[in-house]
Amino acid sequence: MMKIGDKVENFIAPPSPKGVTIDGDLVRLVPLNADQHAADLFAENSKHIEGTDWTYMAYGPFATLEEYAEWVRGFEDDNDTIFLAIIRKSDEKAVGVASFLRINPVFGSIEVGHIYYSPLLQNTTEATEAMYLMMKWVFENGYRRYEWKCDALNKRSRIAAQRLGFSYEGVFRQMMMVKGRNRDTAWFAIIDKEWNELSGYFQKYLSKENFDEKGTPKVSLSTLTKPNLYKTDNFEFT
């Protein structure tokens, strides 16, 4: 008998994340605004003297605050790529950005991308909570699929995706050109059936009990998520 996909029942198209504010314990995510956030973000991002954090981005680095602010303004009214500023609650400072994009309510899919963490946010618990909060919003609002895509050569992004529970699904070869160079794109995703278990991993990792007096986690997030990454014989994993 010919195989067909499972029937999707009682699906209701989820809402757009346009205009949302997502509040956590350590960070708050708010719509990115040039007047409110560009100065903080540009000042911290400019500390990347080598500019290597922009290597795999389709834009940047930015030479001046005015140039960066103008770039931010170009997305403020966009309904397809919705940028959020990550506000560190300890000092109300904008320390990073991320966005929802490729938003398809009809099929219940949405992507996270344009992630850029300033030095103040990189490798912090706040950074992990920001990703958890976006993920939580997605699945609690009825999306079926949450995607992460990156340059297939971007090892840091690939490791970050799997640490956060995104399963590797393959590479789209010669998908685009970025800054005059070929880009093969690696695809990762989380689906709604995985959310309940994954949410528990984040809650365990982010709990105060999981950190010692120096702020070092006793159990890493990747230790929790790795056993549950989706695998088939047709997918290649590193």
Question: What's the pLDDT at 91?
Answer: 97
pLDDT over 50 (residue 7)? yes
| CA within 13 Å, CB half, 100 | 32
Domain boundaries, the chain: 22-228
Report how far residue 106's alpha carbon sits from residue 237's, in angstroms, rounded to the nearest whole number.
30
Is residue 128 a contact partner of residue 221, using CB atoms and an 8 Å limit? Answer: yes
For helices 125-140 and 195-206, the axis angle rounded to 10 degrees is 150
pLDDT over 70 (residue 234)? no
What backbone torsions phi and psi does residue 186 show, to the nearest 5 degrees? Answer: -90, 135
Tokens read off for 71: 């770039």
- Which of 49 and 14 is assigned the larger pLDDT? 14
Interacting residues of 98 by C-beta distance below 8 A, sequence separation 6+: 29, 83, 84, 86, 112, 113, 114, 115, 116, 130, 131, 134
Is residue 38 a contact partner of residue 72, using CB atoms and an 8 Å limit? Answer: yes
pLDDT over 70 (residue 236)? no
- Which of 23 and 3 is assigned the larger pLDDT? 23
Question: What's the pLDDT at 52?
Answer: 82
> Strands 145-151 and 109-117: what pairing?
parallel
Where are the alpha helices (H) located in the chain, listed in sequence order?
A: 34-45, 65-73, 125-140, 155-163, 195-206, 221-225
pLDDT, averaged across the chain:
94
Q: How far, CA to CA in Å, does 178 sit from each of 18, 181, 211, 224, 233?
A: 27, 5, 40, 34, 31
State the pLDDT confidence band at 237, using cuts at 50, 70 and 90. very low
Give 85-143 pLDDT, tens digit per residue. Answer: 999 999 999 999 999 999 999 999 999 999 999 999 999 999 999 999 999 999 999 99
pLDDT over 60 (residue 153)? yes
CB atoms within 10 A of CB 2: 3
Give 42-65 pLDDT, tens digit per residue. Answer: 999 888 766 688 999 999 999 999
Across 43-57, 102-116, 169-183, 188-202, least confident range: 43-57
- The DSSP result for 102-124, as a single string, is EEETTTTEEEEEEEEE-TTTTTS
Question: What's the pLDDT at 31?
Answer: 98
What fold, for 22-228? Aminopeptidase (3.40.630)
- Give the global pTM: 0.94
Q: How large is the average pLDDT for residues 17-43?
A: 98
For the chain, percent of residues with pLDDT exceeding 90: 91
Report how far residue 166's alpha carbon sits from residue 146's, in angstroms, rounded to the nearest whole number.
8
Question: What's the pLDDT at 69?
Answer: 98
pLDDT over 60 (residue 217)? yes
